[in-house]
Amino acid sequence: MFAAGTMLFASCSTSPESEMDAFIDDLMSKMTLEEKIGQLNLPASGEIITGQAKSSNVAERIRKGQVGGLLNLKGVERIREVQKQAVEDSRLGIPLLFGMDVIHGYETIFPIPLGLSCTWNMEAIEKSARIAAIEASADGICWTFSPMVDICRDARWGRIAEGSGEDPYLGSEIARAMVRGYQGDGMKRNDEIMACVKHFALYGGAEAGRDYNTVDMSRQRMFNDFMPPYKAAVEEGAGSMMAAFNDVDGIPATGNKWLMTDLLRNDWGFDGFVVSDYTGVTEMVDHGMGNIQDVAALSVNAGVDMDMVSDSFMGTLVQSVKEGKVSEETINTACRRILEAKYKLGLFEDPYKYCDLERPAKQVFCAEHREVARKIAAESFVLLKNEGNILPLQKKGTVAVIGPLANTKANMPGTWSVAAVAQNIPTLVEGMKHALGDKVNIITAKGSNLMSDAAYEERATMFGRSLGRDNRTDKQLLDEALRVAAKADVIVAAIGESSEMSGECSSRTELEIPDTQRALLKALLNTGKPVVLTLFTGRPLVLNWEHKNVPAILNVWFGGSETGSAVADVLFGDVNPSGKLTTTFPQSVGQLPLFYAHKNTGRPLAEGKWFEKFRSNYIDVSNDPLYPFGYGLSYTTFEYGDVKLSANSMDANGEITATVSVKNTGKYDGNEVVQLYIRDLVASVTRPVKELKGFEKVFIKAGETKEISFKINVEMLKFYNFDIDYVFEPGDFDVMIGPNSRDLKSARFTVK
Ligand code: GLC
């Protein structure tokens, strides 16, 4: 058994770093080459399946010291048992890391990350990660494969659901908050776990939005738009990074030395370890980078330290060292990084630090955590339309909740909820009943299947998340729904995607609501009763028809385990919605990639025009989104005053304050996300027409006015130029402030 504080030999220095170095030096001096390579091996436990390959005879390999950690094993008893095997049965007793995809909660599930990002509330986002860490660590997990910080501007890509949307500034702030939430005060406590930032890098730029597809982008786009959140997470002290499946500049990230060593370590100073994604190492054979031995050598030489599930490090690196393809020093470096992570997590001091059998009953899925999740879920919802203020509903009469998402447990948490216990999760109807008690009579019907194409539905509801294809015909389902609707005062349509229509390997070429559900919606509208669309989705959808025909649309994303109660809280006015989109909703999938921070081009359209020959536009659809980045309605209204600047110019060391007044002109108190955008009008490279550079979420009482100020300095005006130097260039800038990226008040200033 190890006691890191017990020096195995006398040491003169006392700094924690040197204590760790001395401890690891001593340990590594005892290890064989094979045992060092064993630390680089991360097999799957086989319990929770998140990829195609399976790992075999794991127990035997743990005993032989050929395993550095396990992924996706659930249950503190099981983990304690396996840790005991490692510590007591292997020659050196090196403890294992236990990692899991705790992406937006453990058993208490928070909104999918794209939903979380729409809160624009860093404190809430950090809190969600903190609670996830408490629950996961209570159940034996010390390492989470989160935050996923991949920027994405193409809603066809299903994993847009797992990230924080299209903007690098907001994405960076969220990345920092998640790392803080997971790692707490340096992973000393047994409820602090190591973060793993993914997927490094550029995975969200997959061509055509098709998962695992090639990524090919300029260095300009990389460094100005896609890299900032990874860098922010590294600056926040993330303990590990995960390599992306895709290639970068023609070399797969998993074998890309420029990415993993030159940029990540030498430029950014990252001092943790890099793990491949699931079989990412051997997938480089399919990328065309060589045979298994070649790609394993390429990967570890590039700076990837741990091999998830492919067994290629364990299977080939001893041979590669013998053949001089990989140096022993490289193996030592990778092994040291893994041992350092274990040391920093306190596993040498106490291998059972995360194995307190008493904790789960007290801390996992507890009422306190669920209450927080309910609040955050309500804050993540985005009110897209509310014609005639049909919302909030009154707590009286009969409400019919109709749709395939009304009575499903497994689909409420959303994608990447691997630890969720579906039977513990209230359905939408159950949650609404719990929240409303006997004040409202809730009746319900399924109304339709998820879609007419059963094979597509099968693909869209993997992992046992099926909504249960009904053996009744569409007509029978619809007739039942109309009978239920006839008894109601108001209809809440629970409609949208299933949870696995987004997430990994869930790219779509069309982004409408599935056909049978659109038909159901039409039939419900034809009853003439008020209809509120409660939209479940893991991505931006094309909602032109819904926007035109449905009076109220509340986008609830997948709100997590407490969705039902949170939906009731918002629909019936206990919570005034404040969510704002962090990814653009297009009019047509043909517009993608579509994002607010676009370039002006040499042929921009004139303001207010949507077509002009020989200008940059389409002949069938305007360039505008249906709903822009930053958009979201409230039950109240906010009026913005003009932007006032403390000065119209400054020098490079100066600072200008931009201030607006925001008045709550409605009858509900509410939260408003005031957004600051800046445009660099002239520069050495083409610059976006605007970029988010600040935001503030403020609570304003009905009738009240608040002054919101932002300080602007040249640090905020920097960008990566043609030579990828991070520079500021003097000149004129527009500062724009408003409730979203479209409706903005503007003022101009100059920096000399
Ligand atoms: C998956 C995902 C990655 C996840 C890993 C382990 O393929 O790409 O995000 O952390 O495998 O489940």
Centre of ligand 1 to C-alpha 158, Å, is 14
Fold of the 636-751 domain: Immunoglobulin-like (2.60.40)
In 3-state terms the chain splits into helix, strand, coil percentages (rounded to 5) of 35, 20, 45
Centre of ligand 1 to C-alpha 51, Å, is 7
Nearest atom in ligand 1 to the alpha carbon of residue 145 is 10
Specify the pLDDT at position 465: 65
- Mean pLDDT over 534-545 rounds to 98
Measured between alpha carbons, how far is 635 from 390 in angstroms, rounded to an integer?
A: 10
Say if strands 638-640 and 656-664 run parallel, antiparallel, or are unpaired. Answer: antiparallel
Asked whether 173 lines ligand 1 (CB < 6 A), one says no
H or E, element range at 22: helix 16-30
Say if strands 656-664 and 644-645 run parallel, antiparallel, or are unpaired. Answer: antiparallel
Q: Is 277 a catalytic residue?
A: yes
Instruction: Please say if the pLDDT value at position 47 is more than 80.
Output: no
Fold of the 377-571 domain: Rossmann fold (3.40.50)
Q: What is the average pLDDT value for the chain, to the nearest integer? A: 96
Structure confidence by residue, pLDDT tens digits, 278-290: 999 999 999 999 9
Structure confidence by residue, pLDDT tens digits, 369-425: 999 999 999 999 999 999 999 999 999 999 999 999 999 999 999 999 999 999 999
Centre of ligand 1 to C-alpha 337, Å, is 21
Tell me the pLDDT band of 654, cut-offs 50, 70 and 90: very high
Residues of the chain with CATH 2.60.40.10: 636-751
Asked whether 504 lines ligand 1 (CB < 6 A), one says yes
Instruction: Please say if the pLDDT value at position 45 is more than 90.
Output: no
Measured between alpha carbons, how far is 568 from 490 in angstroms, rounded to an integer?
A: 13
Measured between alpha carbons, how far is 512 from 523 in angstroms, rounded to an integer?
A: 17
Instruction: Please say if the pLDDT value at position 469 is more than 90.
Output: no
Specify the pLDDT at position 425: 97
Measured between alpha carbons, how far is 21 from 19 in angstroms, rounded to an integer?
A: 5
The one catalytic residue among 139, 154, 277, 569:
277
What residue owns the CA closest to ligand 1's atom 3? Answer: 277
Centre of ligand 1 to C-alpha 199, Å, is 9
Asked whether 162 lines ligand 1 (CB < 6 A), one says no
The token pair that represents 589 in the structure block: 């999938």
DSSP 560-578: -TTHHHHHHHHHTTSS---
- Mean pLDDT over 659-676 rounds to 98
Residues of the chain with CATH 3.40.50.1700: 377-571
Instruction: Please say if the pLDDT value at position 17 is more than 70.
Output: yes
H or E, element range at 77: helix 76-84
Tell me which of 457 and 142 has the higher pLDDT: 142
Specify the pLDDT at position 3: 45
Q: What is the percent of the chain where pLDDT is above 90?
A: 93
Measured between alpha carbons, how far is 524 from 482 in angstroms, rounded to an integer?
A: 7
What residue owns the CA closest to ligand 1's atom 12? Answer: 50
Specify the pLDDT at position 51: 80
Asked whether 380 lines ligand 1 (CB < 6 A), one says no
Nearest atom in ligand 1 to the alpha carbon of residue 50 is 12
